[in-house]
Amino acid sequence: MHVLGAPFYLMELVDGGSVGTVSQAEALTSGQRHRLGLDLADTLADLHDIDPASVGLSEFGRPEGYLERQLNRWERQWASSKTSERSEVSALLGKLSRALPRTRFPGIVHGDVKLDNVLVAHEDPASIVAVLDWEMATLGDTLADVGVMLSFWDVPGLPFNPVTKGLATLDGFPTRGELVERYATRRGIELPEIDWYTVFADLKIAVILEGIHARHLQGDTVGEGFEGIADMVGPLLQRALELAETSSLHELRQ
């Protein structure tokens, strides 16, 4: 603050590669993809086990009421950026509100956990050496990150997240169940409410994409690749609604 007159942070250069697209992941062996998926779960668990006060982040956010604020925030965001009416949004917000879980594991939340936001070692592309894009980081409910990880972790036979395009369905990558088990074992916890966090992640990502589409229509977001953003919103909302209706979401009321 005193150097530039505004808040800022410094980044250290990390020499690593990316495995955030289908073509990049196809360059790995099946065994490397399996180990990379498990390392993502391990990396996330280790982040969440950090005591924020021990690294000077005790004032980085407010874990109390985090989920309620998140639901309210993304409801407002949808209302301010929607380009068409979608009944799925209000249905999902209602289901999530009624089944709101109690925050049991507060801590550092990254906010955008996916393979596209990590760097891997050149000599071992199954080993994560850095986590990128901390713009959404705060203190909150750490299981929200697990939901985002699972939202970006596609399941064979089910609609893909339109952002990742089936990346995690390549041969060798762990299943969602394996990721959850690995993460839970690493932290020594149980995750009975994980469907709630996954549904919420799908909803949140859909709202973000709708916002990008709205800004593109207004001419504020320009460049290649934005024309099809609107087509991604519907599939994510429908996938979230299907999971909400087939899971035990109604049993998670506190």
Instruction: Give the C-alpha separation, 90 to 98, whole Å.
Output: 12
Contact between 17 and 125 under an 8 Å Cβ cutoff? The reply is yes
Q: What pLDDT does residue 216 have?
A: 61
Q: What is the mean pLDDT of the chain?
A: 91
**Model pTM score:** 0.91
pLDDT in tens, 132-146: 999 999 999 999 999
Q: Where are the domains of the chain?
A: 22-251
Q: If you average pLDDT over residues 125-130, what whole number do you get?
A: 98
Q: Which carries the bigger pLDDT value, residue 231 or residue 102?
A: 102
What band does 252 get if pLDDT is binned at 50, 70 and 90? very low
Q: If you average pLDDT over residues 73-86, what whole number do you get?
A: 93
Among residues 159, 216, 152, the alpha carbon closest in space to that of 179 is found at: 152
Q: What pLDDT does residue 221 have?
A: 61
| Res 163 pLDDT > 90 | no
Q: What pLDDT does residue 230 have?
A: 76
Name the token pair of 42. Answer: 């391990």
What band does 254 get if pLDDT is binned at 50, 70 and 90? very low
Q: Which carries the bigger pLDDT value, residue 219 or residue 80?
A: 80
| Res 226 pLDDT > 90 | no
Contact between 147 and 249 under an 8 Å Cβ cutoff? The reply is no
Outline where 153-193 has alpha helix (H).
176-187
Interhelix angle 66-81/194-217, rounded to 10 degrees, is 30
Residue 128 β-bridge partners: 120
Percent of the chain with pLDDT over 70: 92
Q: If you average pLDDT over residues 204-223, what whole number do you get?
A: 78
Outline where 82-175 has alpha helix (H).
87-98, 143-151
Name the token pair of 108. Answer: 């550092």
Q: What pLDDT does residue 177 have?
A: 96
Among residues 166, 176, 163, 174, the alpha carbon closest in space to that of 204 is found at: 163
**Domain 22-251 in CATH 3.90.1200.10:** yes
